[in-house]
Amino acid sequence: MTDITSNNTFLITGIVFITIAVIGQSKLAFIEINPGCLGRLLALFIGMSSLLYALGLLNFSVETLDLLKTSLTEPIRQLISSINDLLQGS
């Protein structure tokens, strides 16, 4: 239960900070938000890192990771062997 709560918290925080970074100067009820260039960059950095952290909290099953590993391993091996063939043929 705490993973879902913290995931939602970081997701909402990321969305709020990215909104501040994109919109910039705005007035929200009685609060005026007016970040400068550094404030916008800081809000963008905090928002992106918060969203990435929220995405990192997602639980992936072991079967999904094994399927991903086996599906990517063979094409990578074929690509490496074809690159080696091209380099040796030249």
pLDDT for 37-88, tens place per residue? Answer: 788 888 888 888 888 887 775 555 555 556 666 777 777 788 888 888 888 8
How far is 28 from 48, CA to CA, in rounded Å?
22
| Tokens at 76, concatenated | 């990578």
Question: Could you tell me the pTM of the whole model?
Answer: 0.51
Where does residue 20 rank: exposed (0-12), middle (13-18), buried (19+ CB within 10 A)?
A: buried
Give the confidence band of 1 by pLDDT, cuts at 50, 70, 90: very low
In angstroms, what is the C-alpha Rg of the chain? 22
